Amino acid sequence: MSLFYIGNRRAIGGVAVVAVSLGIFQASLVLAATQAAPTPNPLAPGANPKTSPVPGVDITGASPASLIHGDPVAGGAKFASTCASCHGDRGTMGITNPGSTDGTVPVLNPIDPGFLADSNGDASIFARELDVFLQHGSRPAGPSPLITMPGFGDHHLLPQSDIADIEAYVMQLNGTFWPDRCPGIQLELANPSPGARVESGHYVVQGRAMDARAKAGPGIDRVDFFLDSRDSGGRFLGTTSPALTPGPAGPSSFQATVSLPAQSGGHDLVAYAYSSVTGQQSVVSIPIAVGEDPRRAFVVVPTAQSMTCTT
């Protein structure tokens, strides 16, 4: 059975995950009649080693990427640069694949319901089911498919961390998330770095905010900035909207000029992103030293930021 639907008919499909310099490849997924988890079709030996099987590999076995809680934001960027040429923006459209039974690459958004039925919201199951295709590849059904998906893991075409990020992004497109990742809404600040010294006055903050559940646009109403936690009496610094004032990194990026007060010492720069889809918030907090050497502002200079989700 299939990854996708054509009208009222279920089609046996393929999935292309990444375009590489040697060509564009695709995989087919076979789904049991009861909408069980899909399994890869074995690769066929051929002139191109990238789409040929690796001897002795169990194509039903998952690999380390399936255990990594991938970053869907990073995965979205990797998907856009390596997968969208076959699957379209956000996985919503497939290119033609002459010689395959379907004739096209299936969409991944929405993905074949067998993935969703079998995983039932469990990210670990969903990731493993995607992983076997990314690791081992799959040949679309049909007499002579032009496009075949290689084994990106078996042939070391992608590192495991990249595979994990792509898996997390495809999962997010279909409403499944790792429990330690904010469901749907993603917020990242490009600057400042944790523990950095920042002077009082005007300061330009750049970042990215999006809600993958949005049908169009970034899906974020606004991003508010505070010096220290808003809920603990922090000071409002400014606000921006990715839709109205996009940053230099694309439509989901933003840029804001905030005004830092002359309050020397260790503080947190806290950003609050508001989803236009659900009203949910994602919060990123970055420790900074305002107008002071970080070694004096902090007992131990921090090197990490924190991220939380609220409803």
CB 111 within 8 A of CB 3: yes
| Distance, CA of 231 to chain centre | 30
**What is the pLDDT, as a whole number, of residue 290?**
97
β-pairing, 281-290 with 196-198?
A: parallel
Give the confidence band of 217 by pLDDT, cuts at 50, 70, 90: confident
Asked if the model's pLDDT at residue 277 lies above 60, the reply is yes
- Say what the pLDDT of residue 28 is: 41
Q: How confident is the model at residue 172 (pLDDT cuts 50, 70, 90)?
A: confident
Q: Which long-range contacts (CB under 8 A, 24 or more apart) does 233-240 make?
A: 234/268, 234/270, 235/261, 235/263, 237/269
163 vs 18: CA distance, rounded Å = 10
Query: Would you state the pLDDT for residue 222?
Result: 93
pLDDT band at 250 (very low <50, low <70, confident <90, very high): confident
Asked if the model's pLDDT at residue 5 lies above 60, the reply is no
**Residues spanned by CATH 2.60.40.10 within the chain?**
185-310
For the segment 189-211, the average pLDDT, to the nearest whole number, is 93
3-state secondary structure of 208: strand
Q: Which tens digits make up the pLDDT trace of 130-151?
A: 999 999 988 989 999 988 888 8
The span from the CA of 66 to the CA of 126, in Å, is: 9
Fold annotation for 185-310: Immunoglobulin-like (2.60.40)
Is residue 30's pLDDT more than 60? no
pTM (2 decimals)?
A: 0.55
Residues 269, 285 contacting (CB under 8 angstroms): yes
Residue 197, pLDDT score: 97
Q: What is the pLDDT of residues 228-244, one digit of tens each?
A: 999 999 999 999 988 88
Give the pLDDT confidence score for residue 211 in this predicted structure. 84
